[in-house]
């Protein structure tokens, strides 16, 4: 699974989508550092919170997405990739598509959750 590769080396605190409040509290009280790792748990939380909860295109780092409606490069439309980064200041994601040398930087509107 591509998300395993994208999240390799993450600390337990960086897996925000899988943490309960109690588990996060336990990790933090046990000394987990919210600023360690790349991207850090704190950075991931800020990015996730910056997108509207009602936005169905908001993707989390390490999730698999389908790409659509890109003007440039149009050849990427219909392909799937893994979100490898998210930039709150630009509102774009870094998406790695298998076989491509460089990650794409699409807007959320050009992504949707990939079919399982």
Is residue 95's pLDDT more than 90?
yes
pLDDT at 19: 75
Tell me the backbone φ, ψ of residue 110, rounded to 5 degrees: -95, 10
Q: pTM above the 0.85 mark?
A: no
pLDDT at 69: 92
List strands edge to edge, sheet with 111-113.
Answer: 92-96, 80-87, 64-67, 111-113
Confidence of residue 2 (pLDDT cuts 50, 70, 90): low
Q: 8-17, 46-55, 56-65: lowest mean pLDDT where?
A: 46-55
Model confidence pLDDT, tens digit, residues 53-79:
545 445 677 888 899 999 999 999 999
């Amino acid at each position: 699974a591509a998300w395993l590769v994208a999240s390799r080396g993450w600390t337990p605190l960086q897996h925000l989508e899988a943490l309960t409040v109690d588990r996060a509290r336990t990790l933090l009280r046990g000394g987990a550092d919210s600023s360690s790792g790349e991207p850090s748990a704190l950075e991931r939380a800020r990015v996730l919170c910056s997108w509207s909860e009602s936005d169905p295109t908001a993707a989390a780092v390490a999730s698999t997405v389908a790409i659509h409606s890109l003007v440039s490069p149009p050849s990427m439309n219909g392909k799937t990739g893994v979100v490898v980064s998210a930039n709150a200041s630009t509102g774009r994601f870094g998406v790695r598509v298998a076989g491509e040398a460089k990650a794409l930087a699409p807007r959320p509107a050009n992504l949707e959750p990939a079919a399982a």
